[in-house]
Amino acid sequence: MKIGFHTDAFNSAYWSFEKCLEWAQENDVHYIECGLIDGVSWIHGLGYQPHVALYEDPMMLRKKMEGYGVRFSQVDAAFPLSGPDGPSRGLPYVLKSIPWAKHAGCDHIATTDGLHKPEALSDSESMDQMKRIYSEIIACAEVYNMVINIEVHGYFTTNPERLEAMLAFCDSPCLRLNLDTGNAFIAGQDPVAFCNRFREKVSHVHVKDVSESLAAAVRGDQTGIAVSQCAIGDGANAENITQCLSLLRDEGYDGVLSMECEGQGGPMIEQSLSWLRGKLGGLGINEE
């Protein structure tokens, strides 16, 4: 398996994307994931946000990343597709991201639903809407040979029955799953059972722990968290992560394990990286 990280680990440190590339090179990490910005943001323009904008030239960025020995595992275009503005905002955002990602040397894009039950739409209406949206997205993705991942992150995607229906929206190898161990857990699900049920569909993984205090306060009341506020391996979800890794190993998964945790400017994500590398070694999983 491959180890990577999501640059949102450095949101609180106000790092630039290039500083994240430097961290990856220093820590022998060769896969990176970041959010895509559709437009201009002052904080990003000043170099205080570790994500990339769609106005940036993807080929030039790809060349810069190659200089650091880093490539994209996935780019994050996860504007909620389940709400009333899914068709008007989310769909164009994802469609614009597909050719950009292709030129940037990336072949996976993360998408998702919203954290909460959508306003002004029934569950069935929202599911019908997402089916239409994903049908259009997948038609484009097939042209570009792009994998569109549905990330476990919201009201529908943390419900196994709803997620199964979403993964069946299109009969295409381009529609796959981004498993998120932390979001499944915080939503009150069993991440191990979740992983086992969908392991044939997994093409990207967010490795996310959950602090004991956060789990005690909100587990079962939330459907997703941005990052863990504890190092991976230090929280209430560590044993579940270990078991998920075993299941993925047995399935033959050889994709990226993208760490999602608070970085604290380096120390916490470095602790997470050490734990994850040690866990892979203990499970007999080679790091590529």
In this structure, what CATH number is given to the domain that contains residue 72? 3.20.20.150
Q: Which two tokens stand for residue 171?
A: 């009969």
Query: Is 75 a member of any domain?
Result: yes
- How far apart (Å, rounded) are the C-alpha atoms in residues 115 and 241? 22
Query: Is 214 a member of any domain?
Result: yes
**Beta-sheet pairing, 202-207 with 175-180:** parallel
Query: Is 109 a member of any domain?
Result: yes
* Sequence-ordered list of residues with C-beta below 8 angstroms from that of 28, at least 6 positions apart, any chain: none
**Beta-sheet pairing, 71-80 with 52-53:** unpaired
Query: Is 48 a member of any domain?
Result: yes
- How far apart (Å, rounded) are the C-alpha atoms in residues 184 and 191? 5
Encode the chain (288 residues) as per-residue pLDDT tens digits. Answer: 999 999 999 999 999 999 999 999 999 999 999 999 999 999 999 999 999 999 999 999 999 999 999 999 999 999 999 999 999 999 999 999 999 999 999 999 999 999 999 999 999 999 999 999 999 999 999 999 999 999 999 999 999 999 999 999 999 999 999 999 999 999 999 999 999 999 999 999 999 999 999 999 999 999 999 888 899 999 999 999 999 999 999 999 999 999 999 999 999 999 999 999 999 999 999 999
Domain count, the chain: 1
On the 0-12 / 13-18 / 19+ scale of CB atoms within 10 A, 2 is middle
DSSP letter (8 states) at residue 107: -
- Per-residue pLDDT, 223: 95
- How far apart (Å, rounded) are the C-alpha atoms in residues 29 and 34? 14
- How far apart (Å, rounded) are the C-alpha atoms in residues 263 and 249? 26
Range(s) of the domain holding residue 220: 10-282
Query: Is 277 a member of any domain?
Result: yes
- How far apart (Å, rounded) are the C-alpha atoms in residues 184 and 54? 30
> Could you tell me which residues are beta bridge partners of residue 257?
3, 205
- Per-residue pLDDT, 228: 82
Do the Cβ atoms of 130 and 121 come closer than 8 Å? Answer: no
Query: Is 247 a member of any domain?
Result: yes
Do the Cβ atoms of 117 and 84 come closer than 8 Å? Answer: no
- Per-residue pLDDT, 220: 96
> Which string of b and e fits 66-81 if b means at least 16 CB within 10 Å?
eebebbbbbbbbbbbb
Query: Is 1 a member of any domain?
Result: no
Query: Is 124 a member of any domain?
Result: yes
